[in-house]
Every structure is written in structure tokens, then in C-alpha cells.
A and B are shown apart, each in its own frame.
Chain A
């Protein structure tokens, strides 16, 4: 019997495909999410929209919150640690968290190094704005990649940019000959064996999800039609007027993402989405996607 192998880590990511992972800050929200059909929840003290508003240093959640949410729901429970903060990751692993998000939404702890994720038995998800960043994280041991859309804005534009970039860059890699791959790996700054693997298969070696700025069923369907295999929804649910209804609608949209008629039914009478903010109005300091590399 072998626990914590890469295959077993990716296995859980595979089972989350086609689903919605929801940010929750209380036991009550976690139950609403599970009841609406979330395939996992992310236990957080503050959702990204509030982290933006409040400012200050954003850190890993209190283990008590994590434990309380684990007790309340039967679906996988994820939690975030700061980029490079491997001790927060060690703590989350000891709490038997199902997936760790090494996240740019929290204040980075290390500007040079991300966590060496191969040392952990718990699977990690990491954000990526482009293929090279995704492959660097996979090289460190990430078992899932997600886009690094601007969390807490309700603006989908960055997540769309990232998923389009990653998909296009994978397509371009498959056009190159074997003799060009080493040079391409050098140019990208990504591990050669992963560059070679993507060139051969045309897809990432781990599931590719989308996060950041998803606020409506249509947003979820958009990133999935562009190639994302599941979605994370943060502020979009519990900053809307009717979270239970919106949560259920986004779950349905992740299944029927190709069916315009169904999406219209799902979106009907949902009430106001989160108000959000235009990513163009953010200063460079406020852009979370620039955290990590």
C-alpha cells in the first residue's frame, strides 16, 4: 500500500473535475455549499473581496475553523497557505486537509521560492498565468493547476487571459519538433521533461481548473468552454444577494456549460451578482496575479 504518491494526489484532482469548489468562511456557509452541490470547499477566514477591502497581511486560516468545517461536511476540504510558507503547509497537512492551495490571495511569505511540494503527502493546487508558470509548479509537485484570475473582483477578464494563454501555448508546443524542445524549455524557464510531455500530449499532466473573478453561471461556462476542467468560486457566491441559489446555479452551469438554453434557465431570476470591480482600476500593487512567478 502506498500513500501520498503523485498518482494518488492527481487522483483526487481528477475526481473534482466538472465541479465547483467554493470559498467558505463559516460552518453555515460550508453546509450551504455542500447542499448546493459543491464538489469541495475552501476554508478561509476572509473571502478574497474582504481581504482586498481590509488590507493587512493575509495568512493561513485558524486550525479551529478548518476543523469545524471538516466536521460539518462530507466533501473534500481545502485550505490556503501563503506562497513559500511551507510551515503553514505542514500545519495544514497535519490537520488532514484534502488539498492545499499555495495561493497568491494570501500575502506571500517568500518572494524567491515556492514550496517544494514533492515533500508533502497532501496534494497542492497552484495558480498559473501561463504554461511556463504551470510547469514550474508541477515540477515542484503541484497536482492541480488553476488560473490566477484576480480574486475578489468578480471580473473574469484575467482568468480568461490565463486559460487562453495556457491552452494556446500548449497547442503551439505540439507543433514543435523534438530538436526544438530544449531551446523552448530554456526560453520558457520550465522543466524540460514537462515541456516534452506537453509537446507530446497537448495537455497538462495534471487537471487544469479555473479560479479568480467567476461570479455568474455564464462566467463558469465561459472558462470551461475555453478548456478549464472545473472552477473555483470565491467571493462570487457569498457576496451575492442569494448565495444558496447562486451556488446551485453555478454547480449546474459547470455540468451544462455547453448548453446555451440550459444556461439561460439556470441564470433566470438569480438576483444581483456581486458588484465587483474592474481589474483595469486596480493599481499594480493590488494585482494578486503578480505574486509568485
Chain B
């Protein structure tokens, strides 16, 4: 099984390193034809405007959109924005696989970036500290979006069927718990999970 990491811009190398640590074959994806080799895809953090431009100029937007609608996918920060149905910003063109709005830079500028402890017991992680960098906030999450973790009452890790999204950067934390969850719980069960109706907690 190979997991692709979209490698147009941003923190893709840290995702590749983390997948390798978990013993998963991982490849940087820069060309549409590489998607055929991937069982799932990670959309990393970075700038969602830059990624939108490159997805469009390289003819990648449509192939990636079609891939993320039919395969397991994990978006972090800018990647979460691209998985949402609405980024409230015409400069960004999201794929719409998660039924929610992702508001860019909702905490403010870098001076408001932060790290904070998260309760991730639900996915088997203890004493987890998450790093939020110019992070988005997820709003208008529909009831089909399952909220797996919150920070200060706001959803920060969510899942809808085969799509997982974090507003923070699990690839920058030493603990690979969330990548393991993606590999062990989202990727292999794609069929059954996709059919299951999940009710939101918040």
C-alpha cells in the first residue's frame, strides 16, 4: 500500500518522514498519473492560495478532486481548507469532501499561532500537544461530520467517511498517533465507514 503526499508546496516532507516511520510506503505527488499508485492521499499544510494556483496551472485540480472523493484522504491546515466545501475566500478553490466551512487564518496572524494540549483519547493518544500555525477554524460542520477533537470548544480534528482533517500539524509533533489512526482506521475500512452514518457530538 502506498500513500501519496501532495508535494506542490508546504510541509509535505514531514508527512513523508512520519509515514516512513510508521513503515508505510509514501511518495511525494506532483503529477496526476502518480495518483493511480496511491491508496490514499495526504494534503499537507502550507499556503492554500499557492496550492490552488499550482493545482490549477498544472491541470491537477480535477484529478485530485476526483481522487479525494473516492479514496481515503487526510488534510492538515491548508489541506483541511482544501477538503472543506467553502473556504470563504475566492482565492482558494476547495474540493468539498467535508461538509463544513474552513475559515482561513481565523485565529489571526503568526503572533497568534500556538501550541496546546489536546484530548485525543478517542483515537488512542495520551498527552498530545498540537501545533496550530495561522490555523483555520472549522464552522458550520454538518451532522455527518464527526468531531474527533476540540480545542477551546472549537472542532480541530474531524472526519466524514474517508476524509480526515486537522486544523493543526500532526506532522510537526513527535507522536505519530493521528497518522497511525489514518493508516489503521480510515484507510483500510473505507467501504464500511463510507456507508456508516456518523452523528456529531458538538
- Please list the residues of chain A having a beta carbon within 8 angstroms of any beta carbon in chain B: 1-5, 7-8, 11-12, 14-19, 34-40, 70, 74-76, 93, 96-99, 121-123, 229, 248, 251-252, 254-256
Bits for B1-30, please: 1 = Cβ < 8 Å to A, else 0. Answer: 000000111111110000000000000001
Distance (whole angstroms) from the CB of B105 to the closest CB of chain A: 7
Please indicate which of the listed interface residues A4, A37, A123 has the most CB atoms of chain B within 10 Å of its own CB.
A37
B100 to chain A, nearest CB (A): 19
A74 to B87, CA, bound (A): 12
Select which of B14, B57, B58, B105 is within 8 A of A14 by beta carbon: B14
CA distance A70 to B53 in the complex (A): 20
How far, in angstroms, from A75 to B152 measured CA to CA in the complex?
Answer: 25
Complex partner residue of B111 from A2, A37, A96, A251, CB under 8 angstroms:
A96
Most chain A CB atoms below 10 A, which of B7, B9, B14, B169: B9
Instruction: Assess whether B133 is in contact with A12, with CB atoms less than 8 Å apart.
Output: yes
Cross-interface CB contact of B8 among A3, A11, A18, A74, cutoff 8 Å: A18
B40 within 8 A of A: no
Query: Of B47, B54, B109, B115, which is within 8 A of A1 by CB?
Result: B115
CB distance from A249 to the nearest CB of B (A): 10
In the complex, are the beta carbons of A37 and B50 less than 8 A apart?
yes
Residues 102 to 117 of chain B near chain A (Cβ within 8 Å):
104-105, 108-116
- Given contacts A11-B172, A74-B105, A76-B134, whether A122 and B10 have CB atoms under 8 Å apart is no
Given A12-B133, A15-B45, A255-B54, A3-B11 contact (CB < 8 Å): no
Query: B77 on the interface (CB 8 Å rule)?
Result: yes
Q: Which residues of B lie under 8 Å from residue A8 when comparing CB positions?
A: 113-115, 131, 133
Cross-chain contact A252 with B57 (CB below 8 angstroms): yes
Q: Evaluate whether A251 and B116 lie within 8 angstroms (CB atoms) in the complex, with A11-B131, A39-B9, A93-B111 already known.
A: no
**Taking the complex as formed, is B89 at the interface, i.e. its CB lies under 8 A from any CB of chain A?**
yes
A11-B131, A17-B11, A74-B89 known; A36+B53 contact, CB < 8 A:
yes
Of residues 69 through 109 on chain B, the ones whose CB sits less than 8 Å from some CB of chain A are 77-78, 89, 91, 104-105, 108-109
Q: Does B46 make an interface contact (CB < 8 A)? A: yes
B190 within 8 Å of A (CB atoms) = no
Chain A residue with minimal CB distance to B171?
Answer: A14
Partner of A17, one of B13, B30, B105, B110: B13
Q: Which residues of A contact B172 (CB under 8 A)?
A: 7, 11, 14
Residue B144 interfacial (CB < 8 Å):
no
Interchain CB contact under 8 A, A38 and B50: yes
Q: B149: shortest Cβ distance to chain A, in Å?
A: 15
Asked if B141 is at the interface (CB within 8 A of a chain A CB), the reply is no
| A16 to B110 alpha-carbon distance, docked (Å) | 13
Contact of B115 among A7, A15, A36 (CB under 8 A): A7
Q: Which residues from chain B sit less than 8 Å from chain A, CB to CB?
A: 7-14, 30, 45-47, 49-50, 53-54, 57-58, 77-78, 89, 91, 104-105, 108-116, 131, 133-134, 152, 169, 172
Contact A248 B47 (CB under 8 A): no
Residue of A nearest to B172 (CB): A11
Cβ A15 vs Cβ B46 within 8 A: yes
Can you identify 8 A-B contacts, CB atoms within 8 angstroms? A1-B115, A8-B133, A15-B46, A17-B10, A17-B13, A39-B50, A70-B109, A96-B110
Structural contact, B91 and A34, CB atoms closer than 8 A: yes
Which residue of B10, B53, B54, B110 has the most chain A CB atoms within 10 A of its CB atom? B110
Closest to B169 in A: A11
Find out whether the CB atom of A19 lies under 8 angstroms from the CB atom of B9.
Answer: yes
Q: Are B30 and A255 in contact (CB under 8 A)?
A: yes
- Given A37-B53, A96-B109: 20 more A-B contacts, CB < 8 Å: A1-B152, A7-B131, A7-B172, A14-B172, A15-B11, A15-B45, A15-B47, A15-B78, A17-B10, A17-B46, A39-B47, A74-B104, A75-B50, A76-B47, A96-B108, A96-B110, A248-B53, A252-B58, A254-B9, A255-B8
Contact pick for A4, options B12, B13, B111, CB 8 Å = B111
Closest B residue to A230 by beta carbon equals: B9
Contacts of A4 in B (CB 8 A): 111
Q: Contacts of B10 on A, CB cut-off 8 Å?
A: 15-19, 39
Q: Are A121 and B111 in touch, CB under 8 angstroms? A: yes
User: Is there contact, CB below 8 Å, between A12 and B134?
Assistant: yes
Given contacts A98-B109, A122-B111, contact A251 B7 (CB under 8 A): no
With CB as the reference atom, state the residue of chain B lying closest to A254.
B9
How far apart sit A235 and B12, CA to CA, in the bound complex (Å)?
28
Please report the C-alpha to C-alpha distance between residue A74 and residue B112 in the assembled complex, in whole angstroms.
15
